[in-house]
Structure 1
Amino acid sequence: MSSKLIPSNPADVMVIRNVTPNIATFSVPFSRFGTVKIGGRGTLVKLSSGDLAVFSPVALTDDARAKVDEMGGNVAYIVALDIEHHIFISEWAKAFPSAKLVGPEGLPQKRAKQHAEGNDPKIGDEKFAVVFTKAGKRDIRIGEDFDADFDYEYVDGHGNRELVFLYRPDRTLIEADLMFNLPAREQYSRVPEAERPASNLTGRTFEGLNNPHGGENKWMKRFNWYVVAKDRASFNDSVQLIDGWDFDTLIPCHGDVLEGNAKEVFHKTFEWHLQGKKL
């Protein structure tokens, strides 16, 4: 049930801020296994056309809706960044019924099965307008106004089937599980200390494996090389393409936003994949 994966009081703990005038983030607490604090984040982007695109949306609280209205009001695209970040798609699609839904292969089937089982009221039967597949993935287009502002890559070699986007006007990379930036400070900043999950060895270990800032960062490199990349050749090809994009900010779903030095950190984190082999 999705209710076990999301905050019971999202309005009380959500952090809403503008990373740039055209980009707002909605950051919330989220833990795996009750101890691994990884956080969650949705991202709202204003296109040059004036329409909006939301990526991996979180709960549409009153404050979140107010931010949407402040930025223009018309959500034209709702994007699931991978097969895991989709719980609130139905909520946003109901609020913005003309929005085009975008996601990776496997997700429509996963949601259809969950909806048919009827065990999760948050999962609807909305139809996806654009579904990325491994075959011909770079020929798939989302929309004329969307494509005017974004480059994108389907990282099918990732276990969660990642979609990664570059918002060119603000040189900002938007992704879900391709790269974490733990610890999740911002996402837990409104949670009272006494209510935060206690860290244990598992939590501290996972946090260390997904903190890209220490030295040579070999543990994160090993984690990506041996665990994250399911089809390493395809994963390497995708990472090499993304590394060629021009960005200085990176917005992940898990952990803090990287601002100013994102390209440098990305390049260091995926060094082995960029070289095509482990040193």
Structure 2
Amino acid sequence: MSSKLIPPRPDEVMVIRDVAPNVVTFSVPFLRFGRFPIGGRGTLVRLTSGALAVFSPVALTDAARAKVAELGGDVRYLVATDIEHHIFLSEWAAAYPGAKLVGPEGLPEKRRKAAAKGNDAKIGAEPFAAVITKENCKDVSRIGEDFAADFDMEYVHAHPNRELVFLYRPGRVLIEADLMFNLPAAEQYSRVPAAQRPRPGLLARLFEGLQSTEGEALAMKRFLWHAVSRADRAAFNESVRRIAAWDFDTVVPCHGETLVGDGKAVFQKVFAWHLGGKGARR
């Protein structure tokens, strides 16, 4: 049940931040599996056309609605950036019925099954206007012409979560979900009273270490190489290399801290083994 993973009063703990011109993040506490404090983050982007795109939506609080209205209110795209970041799609779709739902292959079926079971009121079976597959992923215009005018997209189908990664070219901002974490989730828990913040146990601390970009990020490199990319490392490497060729300086992950200014350098460090080819591993 999604209600066990998200804060009961998200309006009291959400951090809304302008990370670049026309790019806003909504950061909230989030416990993965009910025990790992990894945080959650949605991203709102105003396109050159004036339309709005929302990536990995989080709770639609009054403050979030106000920010949407401030940017013009024309929510045209609701994007699930992988098969995990979709819990709040129904909530946003109900509020902005003109928006197109976008997500990777497999997600519409996953949501239909969840909705049919009826045990999670947050998840509906709304139709998707664009489902990204290995066959069609090169055509960003299938999402929308104005969307394609501002965004590049890479479908990392070799990732277990089927990641959709986006470059907002006007702001040089990379938007991703689970391709790269950047724990700890300091901003996402910054409005939670100290006495109510989770106290990570041994497993949670170990996981945080695996998802940290600090120093040489050796634990994360090993996790990405030996676990995340093991099923199809060649395809994973190709996706990472295409992303690394993009022009960005800010990285907005769903979990952990946003990287402003040094995002490209950190990305290259974390994925050095995948970018360097044979012999890059240590």
TM-score (norm 2): 0.96
Per-residue deviation, 1:199:
1.6
1:184-242: CA deviation from partner (whole Å, max 9, x where unpaired): 0000000011111112111111111111121x222110000111113211110000000
> Which residue number corresponds to residue 139 of structure 1?
139
- Structure 2 residue ranges without an equivalent (≥5): none
Contact 1:35–1:198 (CA under 8 A) maintained in structure 2:
no
> Which residue number corresponds to residue 188 of structure 2?
187
For residues 239-258 of structure 1, what are the structure 2 equivalents within 5 Å? 239-258=240-259
Task: Provide the aligned C-alpha RMSD in A.
Answer: 1.1
State, as a whole percentage, how many aligned pairs show the same letter: 68
> Which residue number corresponds to residue 35 of structure 2?
35
Contact 1:55–1:79 (CA under 8 A) maintained in structure 2:
yes
Contact 1:157–1:235 (CA under 8 A) maintained in structure 2:
yes
Per-residue deviation, 1:4:
1.1
1:4-45: CA deviation from partner (whole Å, max 9, x where unpaired): 121111001100111123011100001124432100000000
- The one-letter amino acid of 2:3's match is S
Per-residue deviation, 1:107:
0.2
2 CA distance for matches of 1:130 and 1:209? 33
Per-residue deviation, 1:120:
1.0
Contact 2:21–2:171 (CA under 8 A) maintained in structure 1:
no
Contact 2:26–2:64 (CA under 8 A) maintained in structure 1:
yes
1 CA distance for matches of 2:33 and 2:137? 34
2 CA distance for matches of 1:199 and 1:112? 34
2 CA distance for matches of 1:33 and 1:56? 18
Contact 1:213–1:265 (CA under 8 A) maintained in structure 2:
no
Is 1:235 matched with 2:251? no
- The one-letter amino acid of 1:135's match is E
- Structure 1 residue ranges without an equivalent (≥5): none
2 CA distance for matches of 1:134 and 1:146? 19
> Which residue number corresponds to residue 89 of structure 1?
89
> Which residue number corresponds to residue 100 of structure 2?
100
Contact 1:209–1:219 (CA under 8 A) maintained in structure 2:
yes
**How many residue pairs get matched?**
278
1 CA distance for matches of 2:39 and 2:217? 21
TM-score (norm 1): 0.97
Contact 2:90–2:124 (CA under 8 A) maintained in structure 1:
yes
